[in-house]
């Protein structure tokens, strides 16, 4: 910022401070500086009597990241003022659109103005379509491009990954390399690392790390941070720690990635220790760091430590807690069974509780069998967002937990009336470089019969050592025997049975699941890890469960 002030002072001194060219230069300087100088950029912009295309472009660009809606309002202002956009304008406008997940109607405008054949614009379109979930549109733009650069490939790779097509993202990266015309750079490798993180496929994770060292790319802090995060998401927190230890330089994102990793792997005390160590190294935590530490505390049952961290956000760091921090505290109290305190906290929060906060409270009610409270909380959720299948499942679990089958059936009826269906559970497992998918209630796997047979025999064996199927959470009011078989074919059980059939050695079994693991599967896995002498790692929607020798890393606190 200093050089901008100096520049401004010099302009004032020489009497050029109102000269359009001087103002343009000044505008460009502060727009390219830190976000803190944006208000200064706006005041310079306001001094320009008749902003031209260049000035509009500069100010739109400056706000595209941090206040995208302001960028779009500037774009409208530009159009109203009759200032023509050029091929620089649209990449900036599209960036703002991508952040807001909007602006799909821009395509026809750029087509009309003849900018649709510009590579920068096309890349921007891929990015926008990707962020809005319109994968097909993004792919059409991508495939029809006469020439693609690195940004086209990385935008399309990210687009696949963010929309749940991780393996397609990887395939596209292979296709890019086979084409041989573009050489991967740091950013594109980061897109690939991110795709692998979403997939949680450790084999691929190891491969990309090897790729990076072979590629001759500089091992930057960003790449290291991405690997720390990736290994944790692939279920291997030890590898995250190894990468972290080997990094010569780290920043707040690196520390935060490790803290989050430790938190989701149930290593709460270590996460908290890293948080304090990070401060000793002189790094200032940000909002994301606090979220990670609070998650660690809530999952580790560290109530007073978590509360202390939460209070420190405002008292020690002078920052305003975000909704996610309040959410973490609700979880912290709720998980520990302090439901009254959690409710009081929600009532007194200075921000309006959102549906996630209520949902967190609902989860706590289920875990601790607070039925009346659960009903009230569900009503709160209905006011905000009533079509979330998971809430009905949770409420149904509260009734099931105490054997109130009639109410449980009532929940099922109201789901039917509202045409809400429970999202099927789905588990993925990598066996000999092939991904196998198991979906609850689906027998499409080519070896389904033998897997089913083996699973039935597994259940029999585990029952001998104390496993009792817990049918209270089965959603439907069906016969007891049928409830047991519904449970038996939960996707993670099928995946683990399949792994035991395939892996004759004692290697760790790693499963990725789309939903939270249920109590029954959790209990099944603990026994299975003991009887079959295997480590089983399951990544569910939020966390990792490491089953070994009959117990789980979450210490059943989830």
Partner DNA sequence: GTAGGGTTAG
Show contacts with DNA in window 339-358 (CB under 7 A). 354-357
The interface with DNA within residues 152-181 (CB under 7 A) comprises: 152-155, 158
Helices and strands (DSSP H and E) totals, the chain: 29, 6
Distance separating alpha carbons of residues 425 and 514, to the nearest angstrom: 6
CB of 404 to DNA, least distance (A): 22
The interface with DNA within residues 539-558 (CB under 7 A) comprises: 542
* Tokens found for residue 163: 């929309």
Q: Which residues of 203-226 are buried (b: 16+ CB within 10 A; e: fewer)?
A: ebbeebbebbeeeebebeebbbbb
The interface with DNA within residues 264-303 (CB under 7 A) comprises: 286-289, 291-292, 295, 298-299
Looking at the Cβ atoms of 388 and 445, the one nearer to DNA is 388
Among 392, 340, 346, which residue's Cα sits nearest to residue 368? 340
Angle at 301 between CA 328 and CA 348, to 5 degrees: 40
The interface with DNA within residues 65-104 (CB under 7 A) comprises: 86-89, 91-92, 95, 98
149 binds DNA (CB under 7 A): yes
57 binds DNA (CB under 7 A): yes
The interface with DNA within residues 215-234 (CB under 7 A) comprises: 220-226, 229
190 binds DNA (CB under 7 A): yes
Looking at the Cβ atoms of 130 and 469, the one nearer to DNA is 130
188 binds DNA (CB under 7 A): yes
422 binds DNA (CB under 7 A): no
Distance separating alpha carbons of residues 193 and 196, to the nearest angstrom: 5
CA distances from residue 100 to 104, 132, 320, 363 in whole angstroms, order as listed: 11, 9, 23, 30
Residue bearing tokens 């009497």: 15
Q: Interacting stretch for DNA, rule CB under 7 A, among 15-23, 57-65, 402-410, 531-539?
A: 57-65
Which backbone phi and psi does 224 adopt, to 5 degrees? -60, -45
333 binds DNA (CB under 7 A): no
Q: Are strands 434-439 and 536-539 parallel, antiparallel or unpaired?
A: unpaired
When binding is defined by CB under 7 A, the residue of 29, 37, 71, 194 that contacts DNA is 194
Q: Interacting stretch for DNA, rule CB under 7 A, among 37-45, 316-324, 485-493, 497-505?
A: 316-324
The interface with DNA within residues 6-45 (CB under 7 A) comprises: 28
Q: Interacting stretch for DNA, rule CB under 7 A, among 54-62, 238-246, 400-408, 496-504?
A: 54-62
With a CB cutoff of 8 Å and minimum separation 6, the contacts of 242 are none
491 binds DNA (CB under 7 A): no
382 binds DNA (CB under 7 A): no
Under a CB-based contact definition with an 8 Å cutoff, are residues 346 and 361 in contact? yes
Number of chain residues interacting with DNA (CB under 7 A): 78
Beta-ladder partners of 512: 428, 539
When binding is defined by CB under 7 A, the residue of 47, 48, 109, 252 that contacts DNA is 252
Looking at the Cβ atoms of 182 and 461, the one nearer to DNA is 182
With a CB cutoff of 8 Å and minimum separation 6, the contacts of 474 are 400, 483, 486, 487
Under a CB-based contact definition with an 8 Å cutoff, are residues 485 and 520 in contact? no
């Amino acid at each position: 910022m200093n050089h901008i002030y100096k520049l401004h002072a010099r302009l004032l001194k020489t009497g050029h401070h109102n000269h359009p060219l001087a103002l343009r230069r000044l505008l460009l300087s502060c727009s390219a500086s830190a976000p803190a100088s944006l208000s200064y950029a706006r005041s310079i912009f306001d001094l320009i009597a008749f902003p031209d295309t260049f000035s509009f472009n500069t100010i739109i660009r400056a706000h595209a990241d941090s206040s995208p809606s302001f960028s779009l309002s500037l774009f409208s202002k530009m159009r109203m003022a009759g200032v023509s956009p050029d091929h620089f304008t649209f990449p900036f406008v599209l960036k703002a659109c991508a952040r807001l997940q909007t602006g799909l109607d821009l395509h026809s405008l750029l087509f009309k103005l003849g900018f649709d054949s510009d590579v920068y614009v096309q890349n921007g379109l891929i990015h926008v379509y990707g962020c809005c979930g319109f994968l097909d549109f993004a792919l059409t733009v991508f495939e029809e491009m006469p020439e693609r650069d690195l940004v086209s490939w990385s935008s399309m790779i990210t687009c696949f990954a963010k929309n749940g097509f991780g393996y397609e993202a990887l395939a596209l990266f292979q296709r890019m390399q086979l084409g041989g015309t573009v050489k991967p750079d740091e950013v594109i490798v980061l897109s690939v690392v991110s795709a692998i993180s979403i997939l949680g496929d450790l084999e691929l994770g190891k491969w990309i790390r090897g790729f990076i060292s072979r590629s001759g790319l500089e091992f930057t802090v960003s790449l290291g941070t991405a690997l720390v995060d990736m290994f944790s998401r692939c279920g291997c927190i030890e590898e995250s720690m190894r990468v972290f230890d080997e990094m010569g330089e780290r920043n707040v994102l690196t520390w935060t990635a490790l803290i989050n990793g430790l938190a989701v792997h149930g290593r709460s005390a270590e996460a908290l220790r890293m948080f304090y160590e990070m401060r000793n190294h002189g790094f200032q935590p940000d909002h994301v760091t606090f979220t990670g530490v609070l998650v660690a505390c809530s999952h580790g049952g560290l109530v007073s430590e978590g509360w202390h961290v939460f209070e420190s956000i405002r008292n020690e760091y002078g920052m305003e807690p975000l909704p996610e921090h309040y959410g973490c505290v609700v979880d912290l109290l709720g998980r520990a069974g302090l439901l009254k305190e959690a409710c009081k906290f929600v009532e007194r929060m200075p921000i309006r509780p959102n549906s996630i906060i209520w949902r967190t409270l609902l989860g706590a009610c289920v875990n601790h069998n607070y039925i009346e409270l659960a009903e009230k909380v569900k009503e709160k959720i209905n006011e905000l967002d009533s079509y979330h299948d998971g809430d009905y499942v949770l409420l149904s679990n509260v009734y099931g937990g105490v054997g109130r089958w009639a109410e449980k059936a009532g929940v099922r009826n109201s789901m039917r009336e509202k045409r809400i269906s429970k999202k099927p559970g789905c588990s993925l497992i990598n066996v000999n470089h092939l991904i196998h998918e198991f979906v609850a209630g689906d027998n499409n796997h080519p070896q389904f019969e033998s897997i089913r047979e083996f699973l039935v025999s597994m259940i029999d064996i585990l029952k001998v050592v104390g496993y009792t199927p817990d049918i209270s959470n089965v959603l439907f009011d069906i016969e007891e025997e049928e409830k047991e078989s519904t449970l038996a074919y939960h996707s993670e059980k099928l995946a683990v049975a399949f792994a035991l059939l395939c892996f004759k050695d004692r290697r760790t079994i790693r499963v990725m699941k789309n939903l939270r693991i249920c109590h029954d599967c959790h209990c099944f896995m603990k026994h299975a890890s003991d009887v079959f002498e295997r480590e089983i790692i399951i990544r569910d929607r939020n966390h990792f469960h490491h089953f070994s020798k009959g117990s789980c890393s979450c210490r059943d606190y989830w």
